[in-house]
Amino acid sequence: MGFKTRNEYISEGDDVLIFLDLKRTYLVKVKRGETFHTHKGFVQFDEILGKKYGDRVSSNLGVQFFLLSPNVYDYLGKALRATQIVYRKDVALITACAGIGPSSRVIEAGTGSGALTSALAYYVGEEGRVYSYDVKADFQEKALLNLIRAGVSDIVELKLGDAIEGFNEKCVDAVILDLATPWLVVSCAYEALRGGGCFVSFSPTIEQVKKTVKALEDDGGFIDIETIECISRRFQVKEGKTRPETLMIGHTGYITRARKVYR
Amino acid sequence: MGFKTRNEYISEGDDVLIFLDLKRTYLVKVKRGETFHTHKGFVQFDEILGKKYGDRVSSNLGVQFFLLSPNVYDYLGKALRATQIVYRKDVALITACAGIGPSSRVIEAGTGSGALTSALAYYVGEEGRVYSYDVKADFQEKALLNLIRAGVSDIVELKLGDAIEGFNEKCVDAVILDLATPWLVVSCAYEALRGGGCFVSFSPTIEQVKKTVKALEDDGGFIDIETIECISRRFQVKEGKTRPETLMIGHTGYITRARKVYR
Amino acid sequence: MGFKTRNEYISEGDDVLIFLDLKRTYLVKVKRGETFHTHKGFVQFDEILGKKYGDRVSSNLGVQFFLLSPNVYDYLGKALRATQIVYRKDVALITACAGIGPSSRVIEAGTGSGALTSALAYYVGEEGRVYSYDVKADFQEKALLNLIRAGVSDIVELKLGDAIEGFNEKCVDAVILDLATPWLVVSCAYEALRGGGCFVSFSPTIEQVKKTVKALEDDGGFIDIETIECISRRFQVKEGKTRPETLMIGHTGYITRARKVYR
Amino acid sequence: MGFKTRNEYISEGDDVLIFLDLKRTYLVKVKRGETFHTHKGFVQFDEILGKKYGDRVSSNLGVQFFLLSPNVYDYLGKALRATQIVYRKDVALITACAGIGPSSRVIEAGTGSGALTSALAYYVGEEGRVYSYDVKADFQEKALLNLIRAGVSDIVELKLGDAIEGFNEKCVDAVILDLATPWLVVSCAYEALRGGGCFVSFSPTIEQVKKTVKALEDDGGFIDIETIECISRRFQVKEGKTRPETLMIGHTGYITRARKVYR
């Protein structure tokens, strides 16, 4: 039932994150009688059934795996990909900049692989709603699989259509854009947002940021316009070897936000 | 009724974020017959009543202010402070690293000013629960005011007590520490967490990080141990003047996370 | 005798960096019979004469100061300012990107306060030469004072003139631009550079960088075009309090470099 | 004769940097009658002789290469490696923090591959001197090759010996450490430095930094103690695609500096 599950014991059909180490984790659905294969031998699901989340299981080669309940970021990391990766830090910041949480109503464009969509759905919860637009039907098909897998398909309405032509919803709390041309959607976002609602755009390039900020300023219906970049740095913490990691993701994208006011 | 409000029109008793510019915003409660004073003249609340969020109001000096519905980060920024500031980026990342959202049950220590507490309460929502421990009664009194103001006091249980002596709750989804000595609370966190639940600690210094990571490793009940630092950089976006801001917040703290497994 | 002096003992007319702590240092010329005033009392130069660099002196209030021989970066930090500050990290990187050192011949535009000029002169040494162009006579007057003070005025030729109109020198090793419109000087830089010589431009904004890179590409006479940003972060190192500093300089400028090839 | 050459025309025995693109460059010595092989065909040195630096040459497959005069950083990048890479930004900052330039006298430990040694030698020039210590004879043999190749072997004295046992030189301008245990060399550095001379240590880990700073403080003979980290970020500058590069070197090392005063 997706990342909202919080049963103590693992049952048939549950999702389990099988954890070997920081770099090797597997998100699987438990099916009685079946087997899961890894580089370190295979694991029989029948041995998993009835264990608790947090327990361990051994492969036939004696390698030990941990059984975890996947959370929203595990689903994010394991989403079937139609498009680029969305990083945890960016999802967290986008959500924060949008000011959204339980029971928020949010428009997203585009849907892409549905990875960000899943996360938004998780944060708005069952009382909330995510309307997700994309022009590509095949993206939305793959996205639907990711939403179902994450157990949030009931919270999301996938809408096939071009954001540039406008949104059907009114008075939403936030419009979140992960599009090549966010500046073309600024006036549609204005129409869809409630007074004080948040516009958030995530873009890798500076040209996109400049055009989007200019469109927000020209529109006349937005204040509190701000662009930030968030850089996440992993630390190696070991006695005598403590230091930031050598190789890092240097840039993913810029986040531009604004709030709607009546013109 | 706190940051969950989404009425279109402003009524008596509502919180309003009065916005002049990026650096001058005021979080006020609207009271019929009263006046709000600023450097740019005073505003009569009677003129605000009945307006929509997103509308504007003028002071007696003709300066125009925008009326916004405060969101979780506005409350965070305006919290009465007993302790250090908590930044939006850190709240967002802490929440993300904890994997929490609607209906999560979370332990926090210490309460401090209640700023992070408010944000956690917002994210877990009415179906969730935040148990917040602090040894200082006067901190918790101030925190309670901030929680009431943010409309989330029903979601939070303030608990006067030292985290080092253990938590009363069991099977919580996450334990979040913003303490001087998080490493002393690792075993208490283990006892309180469900299998697979997340430990998250926020600390400004490297010594705290090292001791905490060591305590997590020594405990034997944690995997997926990771430390990150998140650096947020504001961009000035103006034609011919686009650049990162000159002065920035260079460091707030390191986030260390881990997940519980049964020993 | 500027920052090249390396006498062991302090004599009349020598420059001394009087050091109280990291934030309070004073660059003075020692004059027999005179006194130097600080917030912590006054120091008599006669007490300094004959001491060694590295010795200490006390003010009349008993506060102890250290006597240091100023180096290139001390002169840089203490230059009379007509324009913006140039940071040590940027001087270091600009020099490195230009590939210059002892006996290099370098063109600089604009001179500004002469701070970067002094540093370039220091690095090319007495066998080298710096030709520094500026349109403003008053800047160059102030710059000359800074060059004399740093003891490098013999190495520098200050040239009143607009870089856009071309340079008189040929076959120089590097052209270094710290100008508002570096892209307008690209073809003049080509004319002045030897084959393989380096073009380096330092600019705070992205628009400057884009125009400059485009001009370099369009010119057809440059390869190895690269833009970097260098971020310097100070660390507080104290047992139990080790961490990056809270406030930092987040951005000074971008460095764009290229090498000349014959078209 | 190494990176100090500045002849216009390429002669027998000269070093040439053969440049294909940012990632493919080759540092070769021109030998009459010989051939240079690349993935893009071979180049005959006879065709290079008599050309100017900045000219081009074609391989037998018609691919065009540029002929550049190698500078100090080209030698650095192409040094035969016995040890880790030293980055341009770090060489630049280390040199700047040491306050050294033409005619400085510098001690370095350890020699390693001689890459940093070459750069130091370049900056101090023919009037200067670099005394480079290492315990490993085989490192110094390889280093000597790199120094000869870079044309600076006359400026450097390679000394086989352990820095911990002290340096033979006195009154040097700077002591530069790129060692696993720099804190053990602090008192030897004190003995070797002139008053006001600079101590600079480059270390990848925080534990090294802490021990070194503590040793400097405990010694009593150092002031102006400072630790910085320098992060270099490459920018992709293309119309519509301008952005920091995705993958970056996140950490190389911390630079700790201090100045000697008499105890």
In tens, the pLDDT along A34-75 reads 999 999 999 999 999 999 999 999 999 999 999 999 999 899
Predicted local confidence at residue B6, as pLDDT = 62
Mutate to test the interface with B, among A57, A237, A251, A259 (most CBs of B within 10 A): A237
Work out the average pLDDT over D10-39.
93
Chain C's closest residue to B241, CA to CA, is: C205
Work out the average pLDDT over D49-61.
95
Predicted local confidence at residue D86, as pLDDT = 79
Work out the average pLDDT over C170-175.
97
Mutate to test the interface with B, among C84, C231, C251, C252 (most CBs of B within 10 A): C251
The residue written with tokens 């880990």 in the block is D205
Q: What is the pLDDT of residues D105-157, one digit of tens each?
A: 999 999 999 999 999 999 999 999 999 999 999 999 999 999 999 999 999 99
Alpha-carbon Rg for chain D, nearest whole angstrom, is 21
Predicted local confidence at residue A79, as pLDDT = 76
Tokens found for residue D36: 């240079």
Are A244 and D233 a contacting pair at CB < 8 A?
no
Chain A's closest residue to D233, CA to CA, is: A250
Q: Which phi and psi (to 5°) does residue D142 adopt?
A: -65, -40
C238 touches chain B (CB under 8 A): no
Q: What is the pLDDT of residues A215-233, one digit of tens each?
A: 999 999 999 999 999 999 9
How high is the mean pLDDT of chain D?
Answer: 93
Sorting pLDDT into bands at 50, 70 and 90, what band is C83?
low
Give the angle B166-B171-B176 at the CA atoms, nearest 5°: 60
Are C243 and B251 a contacting pair at CB < 8 A?
yes
Examine the pLDDT at D17 and tell me if it is beyond 50.
yes
Predicted local confidence at residue B3, as pLDDT = 47
User: Chain D closest CA to A89's CA: distance in Å?
Assistant: 15
Q: What is the pLDDT of residues B178-221, one digit of tens each?
A: 999 999 999 999 999 999 999 999 999 999 999 999 999 999 99
B196 touches chain A (CB under 8 A): yes
Residue type, B114: G
Q: What is the pLDDT of residues B117-130, one digit of tens each?
A: 999 999 999 999 99
Positive/negative CA dihedral, D147, D152, D156, D157: positive
Work out the average pLDDT over C34-44.
93
Which residue(s) pair with A26 in the sheet?
A: A18
Tokens found for residue D160: 């086989």
β A15-21/A24-29 pair status: antiparallel
Pick the CATH number of C73-260 from 1.10.1740.110, 3.20.20.70, 3.40.50.150, 3.30.505.10: 3.40.50.150
Predicted local confidence at residue B84, as pLDDT = 65
Q: What is the pLDDT of residues A78-120, one digit of tens each?
A: 876 656 677 889 999 999 999 999 999 999 999 999 999 999 9
Work out the average pLDDT over D249-253.
94
Taking phi first (over 0 means left), then psi (-120 to 50 degrees means alpha), and beta for anything else, what does residue C7 get? beta
Query: Which residues lie below 8 Å from residue D23, measured CB to CB, with a gap of 6+?
Result: none
Query: Which residues lie below 8 Å from residue D21, measured CB to CB, with a gap of 6+?
Result: none
Chain D's closest residue to C96, CA to CA, is: D92
Are A228 and B232 a contacting pair at CB < 8 A?
yes
Are D55 and C195 a contacting pair at CB < 8 A?
yes
The residue written with tokens 């504007």 in the block is B56
Are C235 and D209 a contacting pair at CB < 8 A?
yes
D48 versus B76: which is more confidently predicted?
D48
Least confident of C26-40, D71-85, D236-250: D71-85
Rounded Cα distance between A158 and A144, Å, is 8
Cβ contacts of A22 on chain B, cutoff 8 Å: 224, 226
Predicted local confidence at residue A81, as pLDDT = 61
Tokens found for residue C147: 């060059």
C68 touches chain D (CB under 8 A): yes
Coil, helix or strand at residue D95: helix
- DSSP states of C160-188 as a string? ES-GGG--S--SEEEEEE-SS-GGGGHHH
Sorting pLDDT into bands at 50, 70 and 90, what band is A3?
very low
Q: What is the pLDDT of residues A243-262, one digit of tens each?
A: 999 999 999 999 999 999 99
Work out the average pLDDT over A5-11.
80
Domains A2-70 and A73-260 share a fold: no
Cβ contacts of C240 on chain B, cutoff 8 Å: 205, 207
Domain parsing of chain B, residue ranges: 2-70, 73-260
% of chain A beyond a pLDDT of 90: 89
**How do the pLDDT tens digits run along chain B, 263 residues long?**
344 456 789 999 999 999 999 889 999 999 999 999 999 999 999 999 999 999 999 999 999 999 999 999 999 888 766 566 778 999 999 999 999 999 999 999 999 999 999 999 999 999 999 999 999 999 999 999 999 999 999 999 999 999 999 999 999 999 999 999 999 999 999 999 999 999 999 999 999 999 999 999 999 999 999 999 999 999 999 999 999 999 999 999 999 999 999 99
Are B98 and B129 a contacting pair, CB within 8 Å? Answer: no
Work out the average pLDDT over A114-143.
95
Predicted local confidence at residue C7, as pLDDT = 79
Are A144 and A119 a contacting pair, CB within 8 Å? Answer: no
Are A230 and B232 a contacting pair, CB within 8 Å? Answer: yes
C257 touches chain D (CB under 8 A): no
Positive/negative CA dihedral, A192, A197, A203, A206: positive
Sorting pLDDT into bands at 50, 70 and 90, what band is A183?
very high
% of chain D beyond a pLDDT of 90: 89
Cβ contacts of A248 on chain D, cutoff 8 Å: 247-251
Helix (H) or strand (E) holding A25: strand A24-29
Work out the average pLDDT over D55-80.
91
Coil, helix or strand at residue A224: strand
Are A233 and B228 a contacting pair at CB < 8 A?
yes
Tokens found for residue A254: 């810029």
Rounded Cα distance between C159 and D70, Å, is 30
| Structural fold of domain C2-70 | Vcp-like ATPase; Chain A, domain 2 (3.10.330)
Residue type, A69: S
Chain D's closest residue to A254, CA to CA, is: D243
